[in-house]
Chain A
């Protein structure tokens, strides 16, 4: 009997402590440089990976994504390689007082190279934020923040019981008051803070697309999104009409799920949502940034959303698109065209080599191209053709 109890409690403790011990070394600095989309050069403060060999100790805006599994015990070393004191507060992680990163109740990490090690267990899957808690009004606005993700016990799922996805995107929304970031040492009275720049993972305007923040997928994908607002204002995300968005949780806790087309995110809030494409989409998520003093809209960003037909839809349609001979020499016959329309043929680099109209029924086209593989597109269908 005693042995059974022992074995049972051993198995229980194993399943409870399914996490691992993981270690990360961060550095805080105050010498970040960035050019805003209007050409303005600013200074930011922030965090980087403390790994001189690969990262050159650079800091980033926002700081590096910190990501662990539920149950993990994390050990995070902070080396403060800057002139002023900093800390890390683990926003939403409900860590104990000693690891809370608040100077007067926990510990400050002094400037000039002091070090501190934070240790805690990742209790609940979801989206969190980490940020400096020294003179927070200034230090957070200067860029000392990042996103912190805890993965659920099931793969490709935001929470333990809900939020399954096939593709995932994580967006940390933040803002800055460019006057502070150009003159951080004398920002003036704090109450005059006025954000004038909104970011998505540190990027704004056309950078969002260039820096690969766009959502891409096909209509069978489910798009998992972890959203966090670390600014001082309201961030409103408006989703494309044909992306049905379901909210599964907030602040690292599941809620009774519901469908919405807009999410209002107030300072420090996070949401876990999944978008289900209802059709092909060539649109964007509108991200509006509002000042809380007067509810004025002061900045808008767009996250492109590009949802294509599924590969299975393509192969289904291919069965009805009869094309011969394939490989071909100079003439192709295309049979069973369901309706009149325009077709294109491109090479594998996407360069168009032919365009023309096809009529319902059978069509013949002449094609004088180099040897190789080409793609014929018609309607939502596409098929590979090979020139010998």
Chain B
């Protein structure tokens, strides 16, 4: 064996192992978030201990290999988690504990780690897994709804489930109730002819709906609506705990809204447009 061969084997092994054993450390946080004077409690699996924005982590993982990451629970309660596309895959983490989350080989597409613990479930603590997705641009949207007063009760562990008279007044994309604003990481930038892959998770407590202005998208994957894979749509639901993979290939330039067409959700603090609306900004 020549030295060159040994080096190249080493490089291949090394590069594979960096993909296979992810060095990410994620943090379970539960915190009061305030936007425009209105506060609400949010659960999050964050990639930072002191995040600026309380959006859930998004992991881009290689397909065909196992993956792992470290999870640190900063909360004073324990959490159970499961994979939305395979609920027999579960993890438990004690209060203020640290575990390694081992992920088996998963089919390509969008998956999510969700919490079956009531606080984690209702407050939307989750992690989006993007397995083997390729495109000119990759984006993700995490849709979550809550009633601000109810969220305080949930954080005090006083709530067992969503009440039947639920009237949410907080609607967020990537934990941001001001998702149409330029400051939001939900806004999609691209060019005519690009392939833009959007992973979507509904970590909220009700079904949500997405309407695209300007374009139809193709549903590439959907964990609940498998019968709609391949459809070209401009308006469609995403069920609670569902993950979807959307492909957008813009055929015209322009700035267009994308929003939930249950229009009660495009409001925050009684202001319109807010909440579950964001923008597509497509250059020629």
Contact = CB atoms under 8 A, between A and B. Distances in A.
Interface of A: 89, 91-92, 94-97, 100, 102, 104-105, 135-137, 140-141, 189-193, 232-234, 250-253, 255-256, 258, 264, 266-270, 292-296
SS of B interface (majority): loop
Given A102-B213, A294-B164, A137 B255 contact: no
A102 B256 CA distance: 8
B116 to A, nearest CB: 20
A100 B255 CA distance: 10
B235 A266 contact: yes
Contacts of A264: 237
B167 interface: yes
B178 to A, nearest CB: 14
A253 B233 contact: yes
Listed from nearest, the 3 A-B pairs whose CB atoms lie closest are: A97-B254, A268-B235, A268-B261
Interface residues of B, number: 41
Given A94-B215, A96-B254, 19 more contacts: A96-B214, A97-B254, A97-B255, A97-B256, A136-B273, A140-B263, A141-B263, A190-B264, A192-B167, A233-B262, A251-B233, A256-B230, A266-B235, A267-B235, A269-B236, A292-B207, A292-B262, A294-B166, A294-B206
Contact of A191 (B168, B209, B230): B168
A267 B261 contact: yes
26 contacts: A91-B234, A96-B254, A97-B214, A97-B255, A97-B256, A100-B254, A105-B254, A105-B279, A135-B272, A189-B270, A191-B168, A191-B267, A192-B167, A193-B264, A251-B216, A252-B234, A253-B232, A256-B230, A266-B261, A267-B235, A267-B263, A268-B261, A269-B237, A270-B235, A293-B168, A294-B166
Nearest to B279: A105
Contact of A100 (B236, B256, B261): B256
A137 B213 contact: no
A168 B252 CA distance: 33
B136 to A, nearest CB: 20
B169 interface: yes
Given A140-B263, A232-B263, A293-B166, A269 B235 contact: yes
Contacts, number: 126
Interface string B258-269: 001111101100
Query: Which of A95, A250, A268, A292 counts the most B-chain CB atoms under 10 A from its CB?
Result: A268
A60 to B, nearest CB: 21
Contacts of B237: 264, 266, 269
